[in-house]
């Protein structure tokens, strides 16, 4: 595995899959060259537990929002609520939010309302919006564009596996695409082609662990250490040396998640 300083830009360390194992999981990540991780809170009522993980582990940062699949049964987030959370020094992103019409189309209207709240919070805080998109490309592009017209905001399309049109719309607004284990699957050539067409300085890597483990761990619990496997495939997609790709994606992360980079520099 590469020993360059990778960043797992999206994982879920508060999920029960990691209970009682976090010190070992983080140690394995660092041994694999993954120097930093962003753990994502998907329901705002769980924010204290996610914050505690970031506070307890130096390489871990966190973000919080209402996941679109939870938007129908969680209270609507408020902009001021998200802005207040963002005052924490290790809170570095807004979300994950977005639209999921694959599993939860019945709550589409609640998802759209929630997404707009998170866009406003990202604009107000300057922290990157973290987007989950599934089977909702047209609505997603329209809402992101409408929000951007009201004032620019930074954004990453997490675990990107949507179509090329949404990717182009996101890149045209200066957003980033994040590569997960999906890009390593044999049947994911379209996803790899979308990344290959993107500027390499707008690409991040992630695990979305405990989900989507890349080969040779596919079908098992994913964890931040496996970012290295996805990054190796990413290097192949861009025709780059793995260490150079790791450095590039870490630089991209620092540019987008500037608060994490500043905290690290001051630590």
| pLDDT per position as a tens digit, 5-50 | 899 999 999 999 999 999 999 999 999 999 999 999 999 999 999 9
Task: Enter the pTM of the model.
Answer: 0.96
pLDDT at residue 115, rounded to an integer: 98
Instruction: Give the C-alpha separation, 224 to 250, whole Å.
Output: 14
DSSP 228: H
- 83 domain-assigned: yes
Query: Taking residues 40-68, what's their average pLDDT?
Result: 98
- 132 domain-assigned: yes
The whole domain housing 177 covers: 6-266
Q: How confident is the model at residue 267 (pLDDT cuts 50, 70, 90)?
A: low
- 54 domain-assigned: yes
pLDDT at residue 59, rounded to an integer: 96
Extract the tokens encoding 44: 């705002």
Domain count, the chain: 1
Secondary structure of residue 115 in the 3-state scheme:
helix
- 97 domain-assigned: yes
**pLDDT tens digits for 91-106?**
999 999 999 999 999 9
Query: Taking residues 114-128, what's their average pLDDT?
Result: 98
CATH no. for residue 137? 3.20.20.140
- 103 domain-assigned: yes
Q: b or e along 55-81 (b: 16 or more beta carbons within 10 Å of the residue's beta carbon)?
A: eebebbbbbbbbbbbbbeebeebebeb
- 19 domain-assigned: yes
CB atoms within 10 A of CB 176: 27
Is the per-residue pLDDT at 71 higher than 70?
A: yes
Secondary structure of residue 205 in the 3-state scheme:
strand
Extract the tokens encoding 205: 């890597």
Mean pLDDT (the chain, rounded) = 96
CB 191 within 8 A of CB 164: no
Is the per-residue pLDDT at 2 higher than 70?
A: no
- 1 domain-assigned: no
pLDDT at residue 4, rounded to an integer: 57
């Amino acid at each position: 595995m590469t020993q360059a300083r990778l960043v797992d830009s999206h994982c879920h360390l508060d999920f029960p899959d990691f209970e009682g194992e976090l010190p070992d999981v983080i140690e394995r990540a660092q041994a694999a060259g993954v120097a930093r991780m962003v753990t994502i809170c998907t329901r705002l009522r769980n924010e204290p537990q996610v914050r505690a993980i970031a506070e307890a582990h130096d390489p871990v940062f966190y973000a919080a929002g209402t996941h679109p699949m939870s938007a129908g049964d969680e209270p609507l987030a408020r902009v001021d609520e998200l802005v207040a959370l963002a005052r924490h020094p290790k809170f570095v992103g807004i979300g994950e939010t977005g639209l999921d019409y694959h599993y939860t189309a019945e709550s589409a209207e609640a998802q759209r309302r929630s997404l707009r709240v998170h866009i406003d919070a990202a604009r107000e805080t300057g922290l990157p919006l973290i987007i989950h998109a599934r089977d909702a490309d047209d609505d997603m592009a329209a809402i992101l564009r409408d929000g951007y017209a009201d004032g620019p905001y930074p954004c990453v399309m997490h675990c990107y596996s949507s179509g090329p049109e949404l990717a182009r719309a996101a890149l045209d607004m200066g957003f980033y695409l994040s590569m997960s284990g999906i890009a390593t699957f044999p049947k994911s050539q379209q996803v790899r082609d979308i990344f290959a067409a993107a500027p390499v300085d707008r690409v991040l890597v992630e695990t979305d662990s405990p989900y989507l483990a890349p080969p040779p761990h596919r079908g098992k619990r994913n964890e931040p250490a496996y970012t290295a496997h996805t990054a190796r495939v990413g290097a192949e997609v861009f025709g780059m040396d793995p260490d150079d790709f790791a450095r590039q994606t870490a630089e991209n992360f620092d540019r987008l998640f500037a608060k994490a980079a500043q905290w690290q520099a001051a630590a």
